[in-house]
Amino acid sequence: MDRNVMEEIKNEIAANKIVIYMKGTKEMPRCGFSAAAVEVLRTYGVPFKDINVLEDPEKWQAIKQHSDWPTIPQIYIGGEFVGGSDIVREMHAKGELEPIVRKATGTS
């Protein structure tokens, strides 16, 4: 029982170009805010890793600390915390998100 959740999070955001910590899965989101963020990420046609915090309360607490951010979903791109649902939607609408996604994933 010496789980290091912070370490797991660091590994997840290092190993995956885009990670979303969310309620539910990308196939079946369990919250409108998570669903909306997944919807945005899908538009870019790049792979992203989903982590369901509803199945892992310990990680749910840890990710809030890691990002110093109180709510779910939380999106990491290229190892950096980008924000929650409102932020990715707003950045997407303004055309600010795509360059970050393209740069992190090496796509165009």
Q: Is 18 in the site for another protein (CB under 8 A)?
A: no
**Would you count residue 58 as binding another protein (CB under 8 A)?**
no
Nearer CB in complex with another protein: 16/74: 74
How many Cα neighbours within 13 Å face the side chain of 82? 31
Taking the least distance from each CB to another protein, the nearer of 70 and 106 is 70
- The answer to the question of residue 95 lying near another protein (CB under 8 A) is no
Q: What is the DSSP string of 32-47?
A: HHHHHHHHHHHTTT--
Interacting residue with another protein among 6, 86, 99, 103 (CB under 8 A): 86
Q: At what angle do helices 57-67 and 5-15 cross, to 10 degrees?
A: 70
Applying CB under 8 A, the site for another protein has a residue count of: 16
For 35, left (φ over 0), alpha (ψ -120 to 50), or beta? Answer: alpha
Six token digits for residue 16: 């995956």
Residues near another protein, by CB under 8 A: 33, 64, 68-72, 81-87, 90-91
